[in-house]
Amino acid sequence: MGSEMCIRDSNRALEVNRVIYTVWQSIIILISIGMVLLSAFCILFPQKLIEWMPILIKSKLAKYTDLSIRFLLGISLILSADTAIFPIFFLCFGYLSLAAVLLITVVGTERLEFLIRYLTGILSVLAVKLVCLFSVFLFAFIIFNIG
């Protein structure tokens, strides 16, 4: 039969096919699915990623979106760690995500723009594909680790 989906008001959880996910787990799943799709696109079209990075690093919308997603993912991973199959992974990756938010905020986009231009200049298309492939596996593992 089709998938059943409902939201339970009592504990603010999402139920899909009789599996209940908390709000934090749902955020992790949504962000991770988005990252898997984006990374898969970049595996197929790595040159597009190389072309877009210098443009995206200058965009304030892209910067604030990136910071918001990293912050939400970090908080969600930390708050969902106790329900994960490998809790230490969620905790480490969650704190790493929050540290990245702090680093990006403190360092600023000028230094990051220099780093991005440097990396896109030296990385080959194969290296970009490998990084994106690693990202697909990493975020697929995060989804699997939800428990």
The two three-digit tokens of residue 33, written as one number: 């699915």
Give yes or no for residue 28 having a pLDDT over 70.
yes
Give the residue, 23 or 8, on which the prediction is more confident.
23
* pLDDT average, residue stretch 27-50: 91
pLDDT attached to residue 14: 63
Q: How confident is the model at residue 9 (pLDDT cuts 50, 70, 90)?
A: very low
CA distance linking residue 11 with residue 69, whole number of Å? 24
pLDDT at 86: 95
Report the alpha-carbon distance of residue 42 to residue 76 in Å, rounded: 25
pLDDT in tens, 81-132: 998 999 999 999 999 999 999 988 888 767 777 777 777 677 778 888 898 9
Residue 31 CA to its chain's centroid (Å):
5
pLDDT in tens, 60-90: 888 899 999 999 999 999 999 998 999 999 9
